[in-house]
Structure 1
């Protein structure tokens, strides 16, 4: 049974049980505690926690997930993977344990020809919370055990386990409860008998049924927490691993051999000419390729682009690990354009977006591979610099800090650094590198814990949100009489706060726009009895709740009547910038193409930036066209309208949505000139585009592989910028004594004159350098059976020294000659040794000669047989070094 069919059977089954089928959320789910969606329940978390009322009583989904904490372990075992799919059925205060267990048993054991999975009931084992592990469950989960017995599971196939195994929570305060897991016995070839307690390789978990019953107030560990009381409603949250079910139903050994993954391995084997299963190291590399190709495809489909931070960095690492693994398999040519289409076709049945987003995905992937291939090519140069610095410091070991910098900053794999350093006679301080890597991982874990801390700190917000949503009246009203319904001080809800403190205030309703959708928050004041509160920031810490950060100039208490006044001028400026953002987006899609989709934005009064997908930058001409098109749209004074409608209707009309944003069933579509610009947007806008005034496109740049950014000023800010540029032009025309239309030619001529002067200086320098060749050749003297040119060349260093040695060698190429030149400064001498072909045939090796002779200048170096170079720290030893070269040659004779 194909993986896609397994997933569809799951959805069909629970739809027949009255569940709403909910599409998978984006992997870029709008949750500040997560980098990516990493569990099937994530899109339902706020409903399960009671932060928001659920639109459904029952729901089912196939949720795509990514976990990257164990990325280095992928492929080494067959249990680690970054992308997986979680099947789930959820109840929000509707059914509970009996139905969840009964339906799970029904689906798992119903024959395949009747729509089920067809597992043999004799192979099924289940676990429940056992007795004695928590005072609230002295006898364990009695109801779950009883229900499993009722559906037909033998008592000896039901095992009671500890809180670590059979109690679920999110790791932070919130809902929790016992869980029950379903395992399939794979047979004695996979391990020992005795159920999941004995061997979880043989007994493979496929489904976890979580029974949310308690509200946890404190969570210290998986099995150490405090229960504050029962949840307001009992919830069901289940998760079944689609890949695990697939490997069992397809009769393969692991998830890498299932139908959605193995074809990529087969392609990697075909490209490399190697056989999967023949060599462990090769198998690991092919599994890395298969896993990372699929994960990268799904991340890029959801809008992630390769970059140096957060999500973009994870994607970049995945893609580069694919390229590196294929190179280790012997494949030098580009591979992503050959591998990604395989995964695309495998995933398209379940996720059609991989087809609709393909042009953007393959463009970003191809650009990233090209960038990394250049990194690998230029790696020699970067590493050579590090090697030279290491030798100049008199060390034979490349520092762990430098190796880590190559890895962390340039994406240069450590194994490649080790290999290339060894080729140049250096060790690498691997212990320090590993320590720095460990520190980085610790920081990442600390960041994750800090982000979880955000969830901990949202408890006060959740309490206030439970009292009701904060209505936003700012689309029509900028001044609203209202009352204080909540105050949060240092993360806790309080009933009052004293003068001088900085607190967050919740109002019964608000005209203040909270920062969202790229639009900066409003400014203004909240007028209380006898004093005004400047609004410092406005945020939505949990959906539906608006909090206003203020500094108190008087005492404030819950229930106080206040008036909320938005700064009208600031709001109008924000409206101008936000509408201009939509204008730029539409102009880009019109002139660049539909693939120029939004990848991020930010706008505030007078200024905006807009990020979009693109494989290459905008030409000067295209930038002028885009700026002109934007100002045409402003001049044409398009009406800006907004309409509430069902999400699917807005998408059918072509409304653009931001990747990763969570949209409710009813959305707000903002429209400029009909279909020219339709976007899902909750921001504020001017009534017509003409109110923007003018747009000045400042510039365009790359912010990551496949992503570009434009910046612009609008309204009076744009005018002031243009006025400043005009003043600058006037000053330059005055200095250069030309008219404005002659300024470009005049500056171009000045630049050309400077380049010509530089060229003449370089020619003179080259002539002076070559003028030394005759003198050096004439100094040639015998050294054993060789001719030796050995000299200290004052004032010549680096590339010039190497060039000089090359020129001398060319003059005496037919002789068994060796050239040894030392230049540089007193504390930074440089040395080059070169050999002719005849000298090499008699045993002279440039690299060996250099290494044998550099000690007197306190130097290090190396190279190939024909040319070697190095550096030292003491020029006073130059003559002794040259004598050592002569002595080495004499010894060869």
Structure 2
């Protein structure tokens, strides 16, 4: 009997509901952006990747049994996308996890029950595999589940033992589904483990039970873990009896939309099928990445996104679509996935805008660089070469924005290959240069120190209080734990509770003091580590401080007030931007300092002065309105229903802090705020600029800083009015009058100078030498610019058709030469361009120009007289 059909979205819900019924906490998918603490990953690529700290017990998991459906991106085999049935850059990983709770005895029956009873797969088509000597797993499959020994396959370390260097590791047990002989290779002995498409792995149980010390010495773990992974799309392939992940219902619906736009359909040709699959896969990945806050860029995960979108656009061109079209597919991707990821619909306008902007930018890149590419390609072909040089590929990447994979694809279409080693070497050299540039800026990070999980997280009580009592839990000096410090020592202090806000969410840390009797520790920075400890860094100004001391923690109140003003104004600015520019605006970063703020946001064109003035006015109106600022902690779903705006790409827990300012702004925020918008004081935008493709920045001031700026500007205004002997109200008119008078005076001066120069020119002509019927003259007029020299030269040429003149002017260390030849001189073969070259060469310079007028320069001031003396000889020689 065949198994029942299940849609992909249905299977996801079946899995999560099943494991909920087995005591697992269902968590939503983590962001595709790894936690800040995980530097090893660019993008989340497995179900367990976001939970590493729970497996290592650096952090306590919310429950010891967890189940998720995790969004994943893998691009290591991007070249295979479209050519095979199983490869995709975006996929969803179903997982059930145990953190020191249950182990093999429960995990294997869970797996079997779900596959056979919940999903309804035929038991006789399922084949487990185990690690070679994992007798415990064999006994469970054989005795408890009842699988005959001949149907349990034993594989070696390469297939059935999970480890990555040092750290937790353990054997695996996989389950394969037999799709039938029609999918097999037909070779004798074809069975589980064969590379053909008959036996497909649908489940992988990883039993984390050992720790590898890095030298392949294994010790048994006290708390063993379960990490189960199952590809949702792969399970859907089996349940829907289709050949590839591209034929699964939700994915095929996206392909149908691509076919509608491109007029290309499956089965027309292998080439068409590949392009349709690439576009479908890459737009799925792109939409999910953008939704999690990733923007296209030229490095890191932003480059992965750019590469995917541009590769999809390129395959659109191969299908004959010349216009941007990917953004038209976004709606379908969202429709197929919103039941599991509702934030896709919330961010639809933004996602569509990002995709369209990247398509349009790429279209310009292609148009601008294709001629260069064709020229480079032709040059290689002309020489009979079959390898496109790494230097040319790098030039296309570095100068014209061509991704290397695009160049590779286009070159392969011409029957050639790219020198990847040469390209990679140039890329590495560029990376080294960039790294050195970063090192020159210095390390701005805070290395910190890791504390054990036995030390509790610091309790922050600074929303309501300026002062609190705290106990000193740890002291760190130069990266080492200390029991005590004395006056003058720089240190980091950890307390059980504090009123000092740690730098988070763009808000700078509070300053303040930790006081114990006569001992005063001055805090200049506060950071929070991933274990929730607040790290107070500063100097002990007097006395001594010991671990275990009780101390009073107090904030710098004036500084905190100024930070509150700036942070509340940031929320008002965010709301004003959405009102003026549109809902596609999302926060892309911020910095909140005392009475100063910097706000980065997504927007794809320059903001007009009118829009900027409107934004400024909206914020100030909201301040003057005096909206009460209300903060409350709510369950996340309730907060979303209220309409609170989440920080883009941010990870939130079950409950969130919501900051509401009348009906003007409502946002998730953990920062400190005013109790009324009126207390923000005057708001002024200082600058607006672009900081990256699709990201703009506004810098502004509030409160006392704005007032100080206004006062300073007013003092300057009064001083300027005093200097011009007028009052501030009439300053503009007075300046206009002064500028007009200066313009008239400058005009008169220029007229006088021109007349004086022309008078000099007349004198030059009267003293000119006669050389075979031509009037030859030279003169030095220091301090004249090129325009004044030309004016004098034009006068000489107009007055005397047989004139040959070289005028020189010295300005600092540089000589400027002008050569002039009248019509009669030119007719006789004396040309200004040749003459000026000859003169400039004497002074170590160059020059050139037309036969009647030419200019040049020189640097050897000592040879100036020699240069001018050469003019007579030059003319005589030309006249024979």
Confirm or deny a common fold (TM above 0.5): yes
Is contact 1:364–1:705 with CA below 8 Å preserved after alignment?
no
Take 2:126 and 2:675, find their aligned partners in 1: how far apart are those partners? Answer: 63
Match of 1:230 among 215, 222, 225: 222
Helix, strand or coil for the counterpart of 1:153?
A: coil
Take 1:680 and 1:22, find their aligned partners in 2: how far apart are those partners? Answer: 20
Q: Does 1:3 align with 2:8?
A: yes
Q: Deviations over 1:575-604 (max 9, x none)?
A: 221111111122223333433333332211
Q: How does 1:779-818 map to 2 (within 5 A)?
A: none
Is contact 1:307–1:703 with CA below 8 Å preserved after alignment?
no
Take 1:181 and 1:736, find their aligned partners in 2: how far apart are those partners? Answer: 91
Is contact 2:572–2:664 with CA below 8 Å preserved after alignment?
no
Is contact 2:67–2:96 with CA below 8 Å preserved after alignment?
yes
Aligned-pair CA distance for 1:330: 2.8
Is contact 1:29–1:662 with CA below 8 Å preserved after alignment?
no
Take 2:617 and 2:255, find their aligned partners in 1: how far apart are those partners? Answer: 49
Aligned residue number for residue 781 of structure 1: none
Q: How does 1:17-56 map to 2 (within 5 A)?
A: 17-28=22-33, 30-33=35-38, 34-56=41-63
Q: Which structure has the larger Rg over C-alpha atoms?
A: 2
Take 2:199 and 2:644, find their aligned partners in 1: how far apart are those partners? Answer: 48
Take 2:412 and 2:202, find their aligned partners in 1: how far apart are those partners? Answer: 47
Is contact 2:34–2:44 with CA below 8 Å preserved after alignment?
yes
Take 2:527 and 2:391, find their aligned partners in 1: how far apart are those partners? Answer: 40
Q: Identify which range, 235-244 or 564-573, moves more after superposition.
A: 564-573
Gaps of 5+ in 1: 111-115, 132-139, 391-396, 446-456, 755-760, 769-794, 796-824, 831-893
Q: How does 1:551-700 map to 2 (within 5 A)?
A: 558-673=547-662, 675-700=663-688
Q: 1:616–1:543: structure 2 CA closer, same or farther, 3 Å change rule? A: farther
Take 2:412 and 2:55, find their aligned partners in 1: how far apart are those partners? Answer: 56
Match of 1:186 among 170, 174, 179: 179
Take 2:740 and 2:137, find their aligned partners in 1: how far apart are those partners? Answer: 85
Q: Does 1:241 align with 2:231?
A: yes
Take 1:282 and 1:350, find their aligned partners in 2: how far apart are those partners? Answer: 31
Is contact 2:500–2:511 with CA below 8 Å preserved after alignment?
yes
Take 1:594 and 1:359, find their aligned partners in 2: how far apart are those partners? Answer: 7
Aligned-pair CA distance for 1:552: 7.0
Match of 1:342 among 332, 335, 347: 332
Is contact 1:641–1:671 with CA below 8 Å preserved after alignment?
yes
Is contact 1:98–1:147 with CA below 8 Å preserved after alignment?
no
Q: Identify which range, 82-91 or 608-617, moves more after superposition.
A: 608-617
Q: 1:157–1:626: structure 2 CA closer, same or farther, 3 Å change rule? A: same
Q: 1:727–1:313: structure 2 CA closer, same or farther, 3 Å change rule? A: farther
Q: How does 1:764-843 map to 2 (within 5 A)?
A: none
Take 1:609 and 1:6, find their aligned partners in 2: how far apart are those partners? Answer: 45
Q: Deviations over 1:332-386 (max 9, x none)?
A: 1222133333323322333333223212211221122112112222225877999
Helix, strand or coil for the counterpart of 2:96?
A: strand
Match of 2:98 among 91, 94, 114: 91
Match of 2:368 among 366, 378, 383: 378
Aligned residue number for residue 108 of structure 1: 115
Is contact 1:308–1:704 with CA below 8 Å preserved after alignment?
no
Take 2:459 and 2:161, find their aligned partners in 1: how far apart are those partners? Answer: 38
Is contact 2:470–2:551 with CA below 8 Å preserved after alignment?
yes
Q: 1:54–1:719: structure 2 CA closer, same or farther, 3 Å change rule? A: same
Aligned residue number for residue 890 of structure 1: none
Q: Identify which range, 265-274 or 88-97, moves more after superposition.
A: 265-274
Take 2:75 and 2:432, find their aligned partners in 1: how far apart are those partners? Answer: 14
Q: 1:573–1:303: structure 2 CA closer, same or farther, 3 Å change rule? A: same
Take 2:314 and 2:708, find their aligned partners in 1: how far apart are those partners? Answer: 50
Q: How does 1:317-396 map to 2 (within 5 A)?
A: 317-379=307-369
Q: Identify which range, 60-69 or 141-150, moves more after superposition.
A: 141-150
Aligned residue number for residue 88 of structure 2: 81
Aligned residue number for residue 206 of structure 1: 202
Take 2:315 and 2:422, find their aligned partners in 1: how far apart are those partners? Answer: 24
Q: Does 1:12 align with 2:22?
A: no
Take 2:644 and 2:285, find their aligned partners in 1: how far apart are those partners? Answer: 27
Aligned-pair CA distance for 1:241: 0.6
Q: 1:333–1:155: structure 2 CA closer, same or farther, 3 Å change rule? A: same
Is contact 1:367–1:705 with CA below 8 Å preserved after alignment?
no
Helix, strand or coil for the counterpart of 2:19?
A: helix
Aligned-pair CA distance for 1:646: 1.8
Aligned residue number for residue 146 of structure 1: 140
Take 1:698 and 1:181, find their aligned partners in 2: how far apart are those partners? Answer: 61
Aligned-pair CA distance for 1:614: 3.2
Q: RMSD in angstroms over aligned alpha carbons?
A: 4.7
Take 2:524 and 2:335, find their aligned partners in 1: how far apart are those partners? Answer: 50
Take 1:299 and 1:121, find their aligned partners in 2: how far apart are those partners? Answer: 38
Q: 1:80–1:731: structure 2 CA closer, same or farther, 3 Å change rule? A: farther
Q: 1:736–1:196: structure 2 CA closer, same or farther, 3 Å change rule? A: farther
Name the TM-score, length of structure 2 as normaliser.
0.71
Q: Identify which range, 370-379 or 521-530, moves more after superposition.
A: 521-530
Q: Deviations over 1:627-668 (max 9, x none)?
A: 111112222222222112222222221111123322222222
Aligned-pair CA distance for 1:72: 4.5
Is contact 1:264–1:289 with CA below 8 Å preserved after alignment?
no
Aligned-pair CA distance for 1:70: 3.9
Is contact 2:349–2:583 with CA below 8 Å preserved after alignment?
no
Aligned residue number for residue 124 of structure 2: 122
Take 2:79 and 2:740, find their aligned partners in 1: how far apart are those partners? Answer: 53
Q: 1:70–1:198: structure 2 CA closer, same or farther, 3 Å change rule? A: closer
Aligned-pair CA distance for 1:292: 0.7
Q: Deviations over 1:712-741 (max 9, x none)?
A: 112222234445666777899989998437
Helix, strand or coil for the counterpart of 2:45?
A: coil
Aligned residue number for residue 151 of structure 2: 157
Take 2:229 and 2:522, find their aligned partners in 1: how far apart are those partners? Answer: 47
Aligned residue number for residue 75 of structure 2: 68
Q: 1:383–1:178: structure 2 CA closer, same or farther, 3 Å change rule? A: closer
Q: 1:184–1:412: structure 2 CA closer, same or farther, 3 Å change rule? A: same
Aligned-pair CA distance for 1:293: 0.5
Match of 1:256 among 223, 238, 246: 246
Helix, strand or coil for the counterpart of 2:460?
A: coil
Aligned residue number for residue 702 of structure 1: 690
Q: Deviations over 1:460-491 (max 9, x none)?
A: 6351x333221112223344443332345676
Aligned-pair CA distance for 1:183: 2.0
Helix, strand or coil for the counterpart of 1:106?
A: helix
Is contact 2:629–2:659 with CA below 8 Å preserved after alignment?
yes
Q: Does 1:58 align with 2:65?
A: yes
Take 1:419 and 1:78, find their aligned partners in 2: how far apart are those partners? Answer: 20
Helix, strand or coil for the counterpart of 1:596?
A: coil
Aligned residue number for residue 458 of structure 2: 470
Take 1:516 and 1:400, find their aligned partners in 2: how far apart are those partners? Answer: 44
Q: 1:584–1:237: structure 2 CA closer, same or farther, 3 Å change rule? A: same
Gaps of 5+ in 2: 1-5, 381-386, 436-446, 748-786, 795-817, 819-839, 849-880
Take 2:706 and 2:27, find their aligned partners in 1: how far apart are those partners? Answer: 45
Aligned-pair CA distance for 1:696: 0.9
Q: Deviations over 1:403-442 (max 9, x none)?
A: 425425653244776899999xx99976522433577899
Q: Identify which range, 474-483 or 290-299, moves more after superposition.
A: 474-483
Q: How does 1:395-410 map to 2 (within 5 A)?
A: 400=390, 403-404=393-394, 406-408=396-398, 410=400
Q: 1:63–1:414: structure 2 CA closer, same or farther, 3 Å change rule? A: closer
Aligned residue number for residue 869 of structure 1: none
Q: 1:482–1:369: structure 2 CA closer, same or farther, 3 Å change rule? A: same
Take 2:163 and 2:481, find their aligned partners in 1: how far apart are those partners? Answer: 24
Q: Deviations over 1:6-26 (max 9, x none)?
A: 212212322333434322233
Q: Identify which range, 737-746 or 363-372, moves more after superposition.
A: 737-746
Aligned-pair CA distance for 1:97: 2.4
Aligned-pair CA distance for 1:61: 2.4
Take 1:468 and 1:591, find their aligned partners in 2: how far apart are those partners? Answer: 46
Q: How does 1:289-308 map to 2 (within 5 A)?
A: 289-308=279-298
Is contact 1:149–1:155 with CA below 8 Å preserved after alignment?
no
Aligned-pair CA distance for 1:76: 4.5
